[in-house]
Amino acid sequence: MSQDPVTRAGRFRAAGGLSVNRLGYGAMQLPGPMIWGPPADRDAALAVLRRAVELGVEHIDTSDAYGPHVANELIREALHPYPEGLVIATKVGVVRDAYKTFNAEAGPEALRAQVEENLATLGLARLDLVYLRVGGDGMLFPAETPFEESFGALARLRERGLIRHLGLSGVTVEQVATARETAPVTFVQNRFHLLDRDALDVLRYCEEHGIAFVPYFPLVSGMLNPGIDKSRLPPGLRMTGEQEATLDAIAARHGATRARIALAWLLATSPATLLIPGTRSVAHLEDNLGAGSIELTGDDITELDKFA
pLDDT, residue 134, reads 95
- Which pTM was predicted? 0.95
pLDDT, residue 2, reads 47
What would the pLDDT profile of 178-234 be if each residue is shown by its tens digit? 999 999 999 999 999 999 999 999 999 999 999 999 999 998 867 677 766 666 666
pLDDT, residue 85, reads 94
The Cα–Cα gap between 202 and 199 comes to 5
pLDDT, residue 84, reads 95
pLDDT, residue 175, reads 96
pLDDT, residue 231, reads 66
pLDDT, residue 1, reads 37
pLDDT, residue 234, reads 66
pLDDT, residue 211, reads 98
The CATH code belonging to domain 5-305 is 3.20.20.100
Q: Which residues of the chain have pLDDT under 50?
A: 1-2
Identify the sign of the CA torsion 307, 277, 179, 182. Answer: negative
pLDDT, residue 3, reads 66
pLDDT, residue 240, reads 85
Burial of 212 (0-12, 13-18, 19+ CB in 10 A): buried
Active site residues: 66
What would the pLDDT profile of 56-72 be if each residue is shown by its tens digit? 999 999 999 999 999 99
